[in-house]
């Protein structure tokens, strides 16, 4: 039988236990008949103040992600959405492919990742040169550059905010995000892209498109867009950027 509220689609979402932004972001972009149900990856050590700290954070994610998937499967979702982004860029294109395969092997379901959503969005906008804003340490930015470079995109500029902990990513203000966008923008840049699902960027990205005159992709909006469109749901959403408003 069809779920009373998820009469169109029921999504299982995986996110770190430290993430306080992606869940409310997905709720604010909700459409009738689609529900999102979160499985949390237990993060015991949220310190990511240097490259080693970020590596340890990803090790925790890898150790816990299967259990998180198994928990969310108990609500019988029909599609999986990754509410985290760093791991989807790690190891470049092949790393993302292996990550998707792992989730599919565990769940038997199709999977939306931030990395793949951004790839689709950049192709849709006809972008070749991008500016990128992240909360990551240098090792994270290196993997972002690698992923897009392997796809043929040129990362003209990247700004890593180097947030000290996983929770502190959600503390970054709109003023800091706005300054970061301006820092990576230039006449050479076709599209601006934000990584890191715990950065609160969806509303600002929508506004920034107006004053920058180019697409600004917030990764939570892109991932949600991919999930909806993969499932044949074409609803247009205002206030979350051109992807969901126009495509």
pLDDT in tens, 147-161: 999 999 999 999 999
Distance CA 133, CA 124 (A): 20
Please write the tens of the pLDDT for every residue from 217-228.
Answer: 999 999 999 999
Q: What average pLDDT does this structure show over 136-156?
A: 98
**Structure confidence at residue 244 (pLDDT):** 98
Residue 69's contacts (CB-CB under 8 Å, 6 or more residues apart) are 12, 14, 39, 80, 103, 106, 107
Residue 55 pLDDT > 80: yes
Distance CA 180, CA 17 (A): 26
Please write the tens of the pLDDT for every residue from 78-127.
Answer: 999 999 999 999 999 999 999 999 999 999 999 999 999 999 999 999 99
The CATH number corresponding to 9-115+221-238 among 3.30.930.10, 3.30.1360.20, 3.40.50.300, 3.40.50.12500 equals 3.40.50.12500
Residue 108's contacts (CB-CB under 8 Å, 6 or more residues apart) are none
Averaged pLDDT of the chain: 97
Please write the tens of the pLDDT for every residue from 15-38.
Answer: 999 999 999 999 999 999 999 999
- Residue 32, classed as helix, strand or coil, is coil
**Structure confidence at residue 36 (pLDDT):** 98
The answer to whether domain 9-115+221-238 and domain 120-218 are alike in fold is yes
Apex CA 99: angle with CA 14 and CA 233, to 5°?
55
Nearest to 244 by CA among 231, 229, 232: 229
Give buried/exposed letters for 22-58 (b at 16+ CB in 10 A, else e).
bbebbeebebeebbbbbbbbebeebebeeeebbebbb
Residue 134 pLDDT > 80: yes
- Domain boundaries of the chain, sorted by first residue: 9-115+221-238, 120-218
Q: Does domain 120-218 have CATH number 3.40.50.12500?
A: yes
- Residue 111, classed as helix, strand or coil, is strand
- For residues 108, 110, 112, 115, the Cα torsion angle rounded to the nearest 10 degrees is 90
**Structure confidence at residue 139 (pLDDT):** 96
**Structure confidence at residue 1 (pLDDT):** 74
Nearest to 14 by CA among 118, 132, 102: 102
Query: pLDDT band for position 167 (50/70/90)?
Result: very high
Distance CA 213, CA 230 (A): 28
Distance CA 83, CA 23 (A): 8
Distance CA 193, CA 201 (A): 10
């Amino acid at each position: 039988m069809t779920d009373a509220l998820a009469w169109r689609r029921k999504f299982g979402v995986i996110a770190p236990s430290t993430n306080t932004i992606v869940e409310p972001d997905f709720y604010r972009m909700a459409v009738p008949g689609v529900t999102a149900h979160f499985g949390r990856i237990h993060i015991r050590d949220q310190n990511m103040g240097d490259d080693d700290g970020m590596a340890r954070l990803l090790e925790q994610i890898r150790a816990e992600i299967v259990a998180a998937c198994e928990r969310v499967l108990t609500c019988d979702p029909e599609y999986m959405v990754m509410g985290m982004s760093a791991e989807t860029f790690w190891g470049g294109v092949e790393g993302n492919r292996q990550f998707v395969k792992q989730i599919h092997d565990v769940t038997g379901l199709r999977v939306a990742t931030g990395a793949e959503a951004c790839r689709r969005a950049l192709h849709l906008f006809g972008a070749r040169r991008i500016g990128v804003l992240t909360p990551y340490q240098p090792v994270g930015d290196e993997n972002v550059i690698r992923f897009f470079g392997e796809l043929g995109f040129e990362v003209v500029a990247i700004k890593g905010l180097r947030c000290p902990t996983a929770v502190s990513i959600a503390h970054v203000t709109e003023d800091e995000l706005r300054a970061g966008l301006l820092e990576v923008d230039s006449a050479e840049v076709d599209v601006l892209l934000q990584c890191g699902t715990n950065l609160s960027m969806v509303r600002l990205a929508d506004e920034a498109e107006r004053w920058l005159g180019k697409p600004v992709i917030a990764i939570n909006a892109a991932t949600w867009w991919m999930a909806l469109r993969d499932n044949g749901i074409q609803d247009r959403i205002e206030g979350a950027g051109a992807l969901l408003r126009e495509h």
